[in-house]
Amino acid sequence: MVDVKLISSASSKERTMKNENSESVARKLVAAGKGILAADESLPTIEKRLKSIDVASMEENRRAYREVLFTTAGLGEFISGVILFDETIRQKTRDGRTFVEALEQQAVIPGIKVDKGAKPMANFPGEKITEGLDGLREQLAEYRQLGARFAKWRAVIGIGEKIPTQRCIETNAELLARYAALSQEADLVPIVEPEVLMDGAHTIERHFEVTGQTLQIVFHALAEYRVALEAILLKPNMVLSGKDCPHQASVQEVAEATLRCMKRVVPAAVPGLVFLSGGQTDLQATEHLNAMNRLDRVPWELSFSFGRALQAPVLKVWKGDPTNVADAQRAFHHRAWCNSKARFGKYTEEMETKKAVA
């Protein structure tokens, strides 16, 4: 007969070791003055971004654009990790290094988006469920082999008349928890991203309420699925007025509401909150992060995992033209520097026109 006790004690030791390793990766991702670049746009999303600068979404153009980002000199000063997309983790720089190698050479940790996108939820008009659990165990093992050290899964919760429903939040939370458990099994740090959208005319109070409710359900699911909170990062939305709300909350109000909400529901064991930008302008996202880091002490690092808010200025300058690469990289380095300052609460508007200095 197989000795069950032996097997379970060996696997629990292995689990403990893996967790220690992952805990240190999670802490490195939220190291002082650094944050994450989300460059994991799926094919339809990157097509939209490239179209905005009149560049066709061909594989070579997507590769060239990502190369601009990943080969920016000094990237590792302000960026701790980059989230890649399935296509991107397999691509190379023009000089033949895999993107994973190019990032590692800058001391940047490679990560990978593993969900398959938010799809309409049957019978729940206006709500979405994130897909991607089928075959995920095998896929995570492959990504780990390719050099990824962390993963990301995004759930989307919308606000509207009669939504979100409890069912939608609970199902998304369960999926996030199952993904997080599988990621930890594969020795990858899961970034848990339940995004409550800012689209709509709702007030900041409503966004506060739905964000709190969502996070509470997500942490309940994570506990039920035995996810080690020390080895995850939470990627939450900031608490904002809806985009079309006639009264827009001030920077200070956003910072206070966001931290008040997080303090109620996010356990202190989580090493860091890496906020998404979610459609804010690059300046707004930086200002909000800065204001949060100036408020009272919290148990977690308050950092960023911005997509649009880091990339918008780069796209604008690059425009698909190789002669603009150096300027585009300067724009990226500058934006990352501003966000790095915001991590210390030391960002000022004057920095927008200044050169980045450490």
- Binder to ligand 13P among 66, 128, 149, 154 (CB under 6 A)? 154
The CA distance from 199 to 192, in Å, is 21
Least gap, CB of 163 to ligand 13P (angstroms): 20
User: Does residue 150 contact residue 111 with C-beta atoms inside 8 Å?
Assistant: yes
**Token pair recorded at residue 155:** 């759930």
Residues 318-347 that bind ligand 13P (CB under 6 A): none
Least gap, CB of 265 to ligand 13P (angstroms): 20
Least gap, CB of 86 to ligand 13P (angstroms): 14
- By CB under 6 A, residue 278 contacts ligand 13P: yes
Identify which of residues 26 and 224 has a Cβ nearer to ligand 13P in the complex: 26
Q: What is the CA radius of gyration of the chain?
A: 20
- By CB under 6 A, residue 273 contacts ligand 13P: no
- Binder to ligand 13P among 29, 30, 37, 38 (CB under 6 A)? 38
**Phi, psi angle pair for 344, to nearest 5°:** -100, 5
Total binding residues toward ligand 13P, as defined by CB under 6 A: 10
Identify which of residues 257 and 274 has a Cβ nearer to ligand 13P in the complex: 274
Identify which of residues 202 and 308 has a Cβ nearer to ligand 13P in the complex: 308
Least gap, CB of 83 to ligand 13P (angstroms): 6
Identify which of residues 168 and 309 has a Cβ nearer to ligand 13P in the complex: 309
Check if 67 is active-site.
Answer: no
Output the CA torsion sign for 114, 87, 322, 94: positive
For residue 274, the 8-state DSSP code is E
**Catalytic-labelled residue, pool 41, 193, 195, 301:** 193
User: Does residue 184 contact residue 233 with C-beta atoms inside 8 Å?
Assistant: no
**Catalytic-labelled residue, pool 113, 128, 152, 235:** 235
**Per-residue binder mask for ligand 13P (CB under 6 A), 215-254, x = binder:** ----------------------------------------
- Binder to ligand 13P among 308, 333, 341, 343 (CB under 6 A)? 308
Check if 350 is active-site.
Answer: no
What DSSP assignment string belongs to 190-244? EEEEEEE---SS--HHHHHHHHHHHHHHHHHHHHHTT--GGG-EE-PPP----TT
Alpha helices in the chain (DSSP H): 4-29, 43-51, 59-70, 75-78, 86-89, 99-105, 136-145, 166-185, 204-224, 251-265, 282-294, 308-318, 325-343
- By CB under 6 A, residue 306 contacts ligand 13P: yes
The CA distance from 160 to 26, in Å, is 34
Residue 318 vs residues 19, 174, 276, 336, 356: alpha-carbon distances, Å: 40, 40, 23, 16, 19
Identify which of residues 154 and 335 has a Cβ nearer to ligand 13P in the complex: 154
Active-site annotation, residues: 193, 235
Which residues form the interface with ligand 13P (CB under 6 A)?
38, 154, 193, 276-278, 306-309
